């Protein structure tokens, strides 16, 4: 078990990495785009690994996958792009599920919104898979939150991952393959 000091240091380092990433993404998007293009022209394998890595850690920042998909459109084939995106989503979802207890947001929500937590708990217990699929497919709600809720409620991990794979798989396939078609018309 980590000491309190180690946890504080880890939290600070994590916040610095997230803050740096958010700054580069929102304030200097050309820097991120240019670096990825340079990276992709130097080594397709390294660029693919970087894209996959971004997909794996993206969930902890609550940044939607929709924001990194356009980067992959620049240098990945549609099939590889889809596979790497989905692999990153699955890793990110499983990580959030397993770290949900450590994040300790459940207590906050249970104290502030007990009726909503109780309702969500009842819904998830009765219809776990359809709710996760629908939540994951709907583009205006963060899938990472349902992963966190399922982890806090100890919903079966395989149902969560199957639901996320189906819901996110459909929407990501639309984004990637339709995005590729739009890019081919524009170029």
Q: What is the DSSP letter of 177?
A: I
Q: What is the mean pLDDT of the chain?
A: 80
21-77 tens-digit pLDDT: 667 667 776 766 666 666 656 677 887 888 898 888 887 777 788 888 888 887 888
Do the Cβ atoms of 55 and 87 come closer than 8 Å? yes
Task: Give the DSSP letter of residue 44.
Answer: H
Alpha helices in 28-139 (DSSP H): 29-42, 44-58, 69-75, 78-103, 105-112, 114-126, 128-137
For 63, the token pair is: 């940044």
**pLDDT digit string (tens) for 106-160?**
666 667 767 877 777 788 778 888 989 998 998 877 788 888 888 878 888 999 9
Which letter does DSSP use for residue 141 in this model?
S
Res. 1: pLDDT tops 60: no
Burial track 17-36 (b if 16+ CB lie within 10 A, e otherwise) = eeeebeeebeeeeeebeeeb
pLDDT value, residue 174: 92
CA distance 131 to 106: 19
- For residues 59 and 95, the answer to whether their CB atoms sit within 8 Å is yes
Return the domain boundaries, the chain. 29-186
């Amino acid at each position: 078990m980590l000491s309190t000091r180690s946890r504080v240091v880890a939290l600070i380092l994590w916040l610095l990495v997230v803050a740096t990433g958010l700054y580069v993404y929102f304030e200097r998007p050309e820097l991120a785009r240019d670096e990825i293009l340079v990276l992709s022209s130097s080594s397709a394998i390294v660029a693919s690994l970087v894209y996959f890595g971004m997909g794996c850690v993206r969930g902890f920042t609550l940044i939607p996958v929709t924001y990194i998909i356009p980067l992959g459109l620049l240098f990945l084939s549609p099939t590889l792009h889809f596979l790497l995106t989905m692999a990153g989503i699955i890793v990110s979802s499983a990580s959030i599920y397993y770290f949900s207890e450590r994040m300790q947001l459940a207590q906050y929500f249970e104290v502030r919104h007990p009726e909503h937590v109780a309702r969500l708990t009842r819904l998830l217990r009765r219809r776990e898979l359809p709710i996760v699929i629908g939540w994951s497919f709907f583009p205006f709600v963060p899938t990472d939150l349902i992963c966190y809720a399922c982890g806090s409620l100890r919903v079966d991990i395989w149902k969560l991952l199957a639901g996320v794979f189906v819901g996110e798989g459909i929407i990501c396939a639309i984004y990637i393959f339709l995005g590729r078609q739009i890019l081919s018309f524009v170029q």
